[in-house]
């Protein structure tokens, strides 16, 4: 059903998302203008190369199912005997011509068992597709978060440059007034240069994360202008949902995987039942001008090879799959608890910085900057307060990104569909 919805989404994509345009030479979709997480998710589902590769594997398994249900072809055998010999057999007058048609008949329900195994293999490929689909959506969500963070970091460093320039002007005025030594201008200029380097680094980081995001839908170079979303949207509380772990396709597919291994064991057991080969022949005897029919049946004698090794291998593979299922469940449970712990920690960090650390750093910066103009604080005090404020805001952005990425991990592990937009559009509080 999910595959049908994805295909349907492709048909209405250009109507729902006006910023999506079709390239003239390719069928792929690209994004321009301001983009949202919902738009990126939809296009990534349609064009992500890794996901496309898994879809072809599903088709290949469908072809295997078709092939597994086909009946063996009959064999045609033509023999010409007693020709081109010596004496009475030097010509074709003494020849015997036999035209034989034979058909292999499978016993032990082999064809149905083989088809059932192939069909379960196809279902496993479908589950693998769903796993990869969830992985792609998680990568999209986290990459989108990194773009939002990088955009905010550029804004922050630009603000820092403006603040450093404003402070340099204030220092210059105090030097002209003879209130401070001229050396303070040099220090203020160094602080401004450092902030400009931070701004350039932030812009380079933004270019890199933009490229990492666009690669997820197949564009080596991003065409969009900006990511539109609210990085600062954080709920007051977090509510972990451990019970939803069973919805993850990594675990859901194991029921099919075990059924497939059992089907493989049934196939191997059926091979112990010998198949029959029925044959019917027409024979022409040139010497007498007579015709005759010949019928036969071939029965393999399973005296030595009764597929003992194949049956044992399939039985061990079934036992192995059971243990792998148990190990996967334990790994998933551990990963979920770790992701939920990270979500809770990053959420607490965000709230703490937002409500306690950031207001204090801003208040200190304003007070020290104002006090500097009246000679109450020195240059180093101002530079230190500016550095602290910039560091706190950077930590706030990192904490916000960590929180949203942890949420994406929890959703991935619990099998929640992330194709819907989960970071609302808007500026948010900065």
Q: What percent of the chain has pLDDT over 90?
A: 58
Supply the CATH number for residue 291's domain: 3.30.1300
The backbone torsions φ and ψ at residue 184, rounded to the nearest 5 degrees and listed phi first, read -70, -25
Is residue 3 domain-resident? no
Encode pLDDT of 129-142 as tens digits.
Answer: 999 999 999 999 99
Is residue 13 domain-resident? no
Same domain, 295 and 396: no
pLDDT above 90 for 236: no
Same domain, 59 and 85: no
Place of tokens 């890199």: 208
Same domain, 94 and 235: no
Same domain, 67 and 216: yes
Is residue 29 domain-resident? no
Q: Is 94 helix (H, G, I), strand (E, B) or coil?
A: coil
Find out whether 377 and 368 touch, Cβ atoms under 8 Å: yes
Tokens of 194: 């450092």
State the average pLDDT for the chain: 85
Number of domains in the chain: 2
Same domain, 157 and 263: yes
Same domain, 239 and 171: yes
Tokens of 323: 């243990």
Same domain, 199 and 301: no
Neighbours of 104 (CB within 10 A): 14
Supply the CATH number for residue 326's domain: 1.20.1600.10
The confidence score (pLDDT) of residue 241 equals 55
Encode pLDDT of 368-394 as tens digits.
Answer: 777 867 667 776 777 888 888 899 999
Encode pLDDT of 139-166 as tens digits.
Answer: 999 999 999 999 999 999 998 898 888 8
pTM: 0.80
Cα separation of the two ends of the chain: 41
Find out whether 91 and 286 touch, Cβ atoms under 8 Å: no
Same domain, 263 and 213: yes
pLDDT band at 330 (very low <50, low <70, confident <90, very high): very high
User: What range does the domain containing 287 cover?
Assistant: 73-105+274-306
């Amino acid at each position: 059903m999910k595959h049908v919805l994805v295909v349907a989404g492709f048909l209405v994509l250009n109507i729902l998302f006006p910023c999506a345009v079709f390239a003239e030479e390719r069928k792929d979709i690209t994004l321009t203008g301001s983009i949202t997480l919902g738009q990126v998710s939809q296009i990534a589902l349609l064009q992500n190369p890794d996901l496309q590769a898994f879809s072809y594997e599903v088709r290949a398994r469908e072809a295997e199912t078709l092939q597994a249900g086909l009946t063996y072809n009959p064999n045609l055998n033509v023999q010409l005997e007693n020709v081109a010999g010596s004496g009475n057999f030097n010509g074709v007058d003494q020849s015997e011509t036999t035209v034989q048609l034979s058909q292999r008949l499978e016993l032990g329900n082999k064809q149905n068992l083989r088809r059932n195994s192939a069909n379960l293999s196809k279902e496993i490929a479908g589950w693998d597709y769903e796993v990869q689909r969830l992985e792609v959506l998680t990568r999209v969500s986290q990459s989108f978060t990194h773009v939002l963070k990088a955009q905010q970091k550029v804004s922050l460093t630009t603000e820092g440059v403006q603040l450093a320039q404003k402070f340099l002007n204030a220092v210059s005025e105090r030097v002209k007034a003879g209130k401070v030594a001229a050396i303070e201008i040099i220090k203020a200029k160094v602080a401004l240069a450092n902030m400009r380097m931070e701004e350039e680094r932030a812009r380079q980081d933004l270019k890199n994360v933009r490229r990492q995001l666009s690669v997820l839908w197949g564009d080596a170079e991003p065409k969009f202008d900006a990511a539109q979303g609210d990085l600062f949207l954080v709920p007051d509380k977090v509510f972990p949902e451990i019970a939803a772990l069973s919805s993850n396709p990594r675990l859901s597919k194991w029921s099919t995987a075990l059924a497939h291994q059992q089907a493989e064991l049934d196939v191997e057991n059926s091979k112990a039942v010998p198949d029959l080969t029925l044959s019917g022949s027409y024979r022409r005897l040139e010497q007498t001008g007579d015709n005759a029919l010949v019928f036969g049946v071939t029965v393999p004698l399973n005296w030595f090879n009764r597929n003992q090794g194949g049956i044992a291998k399939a039985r061990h593979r079934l036992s192995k799959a059971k243990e792998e299922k148990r190990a996967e469940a334990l790994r998933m449970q551990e990963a979920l608890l770790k992701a939920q712990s990270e979500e809770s920690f990053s959420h607490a960090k965000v709230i703490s910085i937002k409500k306690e650390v950031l207001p204090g750093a801003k208040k200190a910066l304003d007070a020290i900057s104002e006090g500097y103009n009246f000679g109450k604080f020195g240059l180093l005090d101002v530079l230190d307060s500016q550095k602290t404020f910039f560091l706190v805001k950077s930590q706030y952005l990192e904490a916000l990104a960590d929180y949203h990425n942890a949420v994406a991990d929890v959703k991935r592990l619990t099998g929640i569909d992330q194709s819907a937009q989960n970071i609302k559009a808007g500026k948010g509080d900065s």
